[in-house]
Structure 1
Amino acid sequence: MTNQQDVPLPSQLPGAPKIRFKGPVELRRGQADIPQADQYLLDTKDRAEFTHTDPWRVLRIQSEFVEGFGTLADLGPAISVFGSARTKSGSKHYAIAEEIGRLLVRQNFAVITGGGPGSMEAANKGASEAGGVSVGLGIELPFEQGLNNWVDLGINFRYFFARKTMFVKYAQGFIVLPGGLGTMDELFEAMVLVQTKKVTTFPIVLVGTAFWSPLIDWIRNTLLAEAMIAEVDLDLINVVDTAEEAVQQIVSGLSARTGF
């Protein structure tokens, strides 16, 4: 009777190819000439290099979603307020944003902004001074330094798409003040999400008729005229001029759709 220990392994037979296992994967011949997984893990050479690989970035992205979901899960009803970081303190737009933050709190909403200066700071200030929850979702940018002083609950993000998910997931609507490319990005993303029914109840209010009218006219006279959108898509947004009108549009919009 042959001892089992005396039976050669397939890789030990004469002429047998080199065989290596990488987890459940079997590698043969030239494919077998790779370092072991533990060697990659424990090798001290180039110890920082792996932190710049896509698999590692996936873990960072995952951590941002986990942190955002965990932090904001118990936030309650909230409205995201957008506007320019360049809005000056004491300006008309700053005053309106501050009043919007205050009035939203009186309607039992938390206020979510991008956490930066300008209109974002103003909305956070109004919410904080009114005793509400003032949230800032910051982003790593070359020209903005940290969260404004009126943020009571703040999260900083590396990745725009993770941050933008939080703006939508934990808000019942958007109020959009005059702003630049970042503001336009958030506005059109919200419109697309409503248009495509990715979110089913989401009032979007633009503040400042003079500022927004040229854009609305272009949407109507170009996009609609060229059949790039449907006429019903124009109903995705409402344009107002005061903080009171903006908050009322949010409240009435939610009430009409959900009985909120």
Structure 2
Amino acid sequence: MSQTETRAEDLLIHRRSGPRIVNAIIAVIAIIVVAVAVQVFIGTGRIRWDIVWTYMWSPALFNGVGTTLMLTGVSLAGSIVLGTILAAMLISNNAVLKLIASSYIWFFRGTPLLVQIVFWFNLGLFLPTIELPWTSINTNLLITPTTAALLGLLLNVSAFMCEVIRGGLISVDKGQTEAALSIGMTPVQALLQIVLPQAVRVILPTAGNLAIDLLKTTSLVYVIGTREIMGSTQSIAAQTFYVIEMLVVASLWYLILVTVATLLQAQLEKRLARSQGAGPVQIGKVI
């Protein structure tokens, strides 16, 4: 091997080893920073981990977890239904429906969720009774903390879910709708049987992220006295003065639920990808 070839090989080895050394140094520094942070957080002795462990599995926290899951599930299911209706209104040819849907999205996306939750909780202040043709309903009896929480979450998330679903619907070729209508389907049938099944693959990832965000957003409803995870931990903290410990408990439970939800979303996306591995069934290929 000539001297020139030897120098070229040495230079190549040096170039390859340089980034590895830099990456190793960065990794060591990152590990040191994480270790110091963990030591400061755990090793100071100021957090009573025995208290965290005790209340982590208390009945009050299990009830709070159940309430959080209920709020998430009901709000998510309702937002999917309402969001689909709003998305269909947005892509329709009816100017009035488009205006109504656009105004809904503009309002609920433009005002803070916390304000909406507190508004529904205090609805009885300016509307003491709801007058119906056949009866009169006391607003304070109807709008409980749980009802106000559900209304605030459902109506707010529907505005965002609408945009997610609309994006999925417009990703489907318009020819699919035209073909469905040409074989005698109604617009609703074409939407539900042809367009939506093809749009699901586009909708699912973003809708899944929105659902996970909704799970964490339920923590806001503790301000109106709803005993979900955050409300339960804050109630215990007010009685025991273990403020930081209860915040740790709440954080751990949210981490557990979000991790499970993320894994379920990943499995659902994989299953959907396998079921549609050959591509969505399009009506144009059938007729």
> Is TM (by shorter chain) over 0.5?
no
Structure with the bigger percentage of strand? 1
TM-score (norm 1): 0.18
Q: Report 1 or 2 for greater relative contact order, CA contacts < 8 Å, sequence distance ≥ 6.
A: 2
